[in-house]
Amino acid sequence: MIEARRLHILRAVADHRTVTAAAAALYLTPSAVSQQLTALEQETGHRLVERGAKGVRLTPAGEILLGHTNLVLAQLERAEAELAAYGKGEAGTVTLAAFATGISGVVAPAVARLARSAPGIGIRVQDAEGDESLRILLDRQVDVAVTVEYRGAPPADDPRLTHVPLYAEPFDAVVPVTHRLADAPVIPLADLAKDPWIGPYPGNPCHDVVVLACENAGFQPRLEHSSDDFRAVVALASADAGVALVPRSALRGMDLTGVVVRPVDGVAPTRRVFAAVRSGAEDHPLIRPVLDALGCAARAADSAA
């Protein structure tokens, strides 16, 4: 008989690619993870992982078991959801990870909505960039992640996750008031190819949006200044340090002295925001109202824009 907790460990090792990283995510010691993997191999009668200089990878047998693991763990999430519904689990705390503008744009309004419609549900919010929030969701450190699509992200049909689309927003060009294109009604990205750029660090999903948009315009941006805080990005642009692409929601309420904001000519670079939960948890009586409230907050923000 295969123990479900060992399947959790197998998936963590597959996700993190090293025993040490998987152990940290699961709050176990590396030796405990190794022992559980050995026990799982004894239970299945197959070698499941191979260790090398660059980490751990699954064997073909391990990949087969991982496919079943995703289905089994999703079914266990559904079982917990149904049991909670049976017990009328109308009170409890849901932990949610989201990036900063997602918190201000949809998470905070959703928390206010839940306080009125489901006062028994408490929300614990933590700030996390999009690439981090999915990782900690899969590691069971949070219950819901509000994140964005980015290169390298798990796809929408990933069996480990259920996606709930929330909104999409364009990026606008931000240039100094002294810039040669400051008076243009729209700015073609190709015309910024020779400018110094200010943008998020690699690994931030917004970095991918900026780089991909520039690549589609035929150039690689020369990123001379880096910050994940868009207020810092705009401040540097106002100091004539370079140009930037910034999500429209991040510009709301910001001091734009010294810069001009213009739409991008043609198809605007866009970030698509969604909520994610572990597969099977979407109908949990504590999580379903949170997803519904996030959806309502996103629709309200879209209609007010």
Every domain of the chain and the residues it spans = 4-83, 90-165+273-304, 168-271
39-65 per-position pLDDT tens digit: 888 888 888 888 877 788 899 988 888
Q: What is the 8-class DSSP label of residue 97? A: E
168-271 domain in CATH 3.30.300.30?
A: no
List Cα–Cα distances, 18 to 3, 172, 203, in angstroms. 21, 39, 19
Q: What is the 8-class DSSP label of residue 191? A: G
What is the C-alpha separation between 270 and 221, in angstroms, rounded? 17
Selection from 20, 209, 128, 104 nearest residue 197 by Cα: 209
Domains 90-165+273-304 and 168-271 share a fold: yes
What is the C-alpha separation between 171 and 213, in angstroms, rounded? 10
Q: Which residues of the chain have pLDDT under 50?
A: none
119-153 per-position pLDDT tens digit: 888 999 999 987 789 999 999 999 999 998 877 77
Number of helices (H) and strands (E) in the chain: give both, helices first. 11, 11
Q: Specify the pLDDT at position 88.
A: 64
CATH architecture of 90-165+273-304: 3-Layer(aba) Sandwich (3.40)
Q: Specify the pLDDT at position 170.
A: 92
Q: What is the CATH number of domain 4-83?
A: 1.10.10.10
